Amino acid sequence: MMINWVYFSDTNIHLEDLKSLLEKQQFQLKIASQVEKLHNLLNDHNQTVLFIKAHTLYNEYDFCQEISVLYPHVYIILIVADNMENLKKAMLMGASDTIRSSHTMEELSETVDHAKKYMGHRAKMDQKYINLVKEKSKVIAVTNPKGGVGRTILTVNLAVALAKTGKKVAVIDGNLQFGEVAMYFNEKPKRTIYEWVKEAYGREHYAITQYMTTVEGDVSVLAAPHRPEFFEGISEDHMKEAIEAAKKLFDVVLIDMPANISEIHLRCLDLSDEILLLTRNEISVLRLTQLYLETLETIRLKDKVRLLLNRHVKGEGLELKKVEEILGLSVYHTLPEQGNVAASSIKSGQPLILSNSRSHLGKAIWHLSEKLFEHTKSDVLVEKKKEKRWSLIGR
């Protein structure tokens, strides 16, 4: 694999350790001390790793941001003084990694290895994805106003169930600070929505699928950022573009929503065709669900909501009619209480639709996946009947 290794600094350069490390791996390090030369080294190279050393003429963070905007494909490693290291700031400015000036040889080697693995993964992904644009797709948000209700496990398993019916399915982790969709598939994605925003947002030749991870069950996941603070670099416009891009390539786009309400949260709901609102038959959860529904009604999104009752046990809690009366909405579907099955699935990192599809919970999720698209099938049949009737009349 060809990687363009570049080092830029306008200060005194001591590069023997880095040059030696790269030469042992059959790589050559190119050095620039002037911006003009740097531009020449970065142009027309899709696989570039750039080290930026502390500057005398520029602030390294500002300079990093300028380079990342001009060359979004470049993997930037900031070399900063110990007292200036700020990973959060570096990532917001477009850096992919940082290393202290007082680094050890082991730390430098780890940094280089990480960059190599990342560039190797990118090269494979760039060659892998050739997609056809979808004319029709459905965006489904899975949400609830309280954590621990079962939102993510439903999203993950519903995605696999839909994929098993032949649909091309994507999951976008909308919980940008503490998203766990990838973890539920036992995956550690190399690229996330953060990398997509940094490198590809607003650039047509970067397909969003290049930043997704294909997980077990043939589902594509656009994962949440690796670190919670990176969410600050992602806006509602970014999320809108991600959803719109995914719609062109997938039959179904599921969004795993966070519990907190924000502008990004509301934008995702607005762009969704259906909202699966998960709740439980407990007074405290129902109260929060009621407030959430009132909010959705205020912004005219309540009509999209399908109410799901999770961990349902017949004879326990309020009667379904009472729940519907409190919430002013009929229960669309119920999911049975099977905490042991759900817990085992989470622990193993394998969706229960794959490991325990015959369980009561598995069957309920299968039924839900069919139910969500029943009207689509009916519409197709109606259209076919219309076409047939027209052709008969035409004769």
**Domains of the chain with bracketed CATH:** 4-128 (3.40.50.2300), 138-383 (3.40.50.300)
pLDDT of residue 218: 85
Which range is most confident: 6-20, 57-71, 106-120, 163-177?
A: 163-177
Over 90: is that where the pLDDT of 395 sits? no
pLDDT of residue 388: 44
Instruction: Report whether 120 contacts 1 (CB < 8 A).
Output: yes
Beta-sheet strand order (sheet of 138-143): 213-215, 219-222, 169-173, 252-256, 138-143, 274-280, 305-312, 331-336
Helix boundaries (H) for the chain:
16-24, 35-42, 60-70, 87-92, 105-128, 151-164, 181-184, 193-199, 236-247, 263-271, 283-298, 320-327, 339-348, 352-355, 360-371, 374-394
Lowest mean pLDDT among 34-38, 64-68, 132-136: 132-136
Task: Compute the average pLDDT of residues 344-365.
Answer: 84
* Between residues 305 and 88, the one the model is more confident about: 305
Lowest mean pLDDT among 12-16, 115-119, 345-349: 12-16
Query: Rounded to an integer, what distance in angstroms lies between the CA atom of residue 160 and that of residue 167?
Result: 10
Task: Compute the average pLDDT of residues 251-273.
Answer: 92
pLDDT in tens, 40-62: 888 767 789 999 886 667 777 88
Query: Rounded to an integer, what distance in angstroms lies between the CA atom of residue 208 and that of residue 171?
Result: 12
Over 80: is that where the pLDDT of 154 sits? yes
Query: Rounded to an integer, what distance in angstroms lies between the CA atom of residue 214 and that of residue 246?
Result: 14
Over 50: is that where the pLDDT of 387 sits? no
pLDDT of residue 381: 43
Task: Compute the average pLDDT of residues 279-298.
Answer: 92
Query: How do 97-100 and 252-256 pair as beta strands?
Result: unpaired
Q: How far is CA 292 from CA 45, 286, 329, in A?
A: 49, 10, 12
Confidence of residue 1 (pLDDT cuts 50, 70, 90): low
The DSSP code sequence of 29-60 is EEEESSHHHHHHHHTT-SSEEEEEE--SSS-H
pLDDT of residue 229: 84
Instruction: Report whether 178 contacts 228 (CB < 8 A).
Output: yes
Over 60: is that where the pLDDT of 391 sits? no
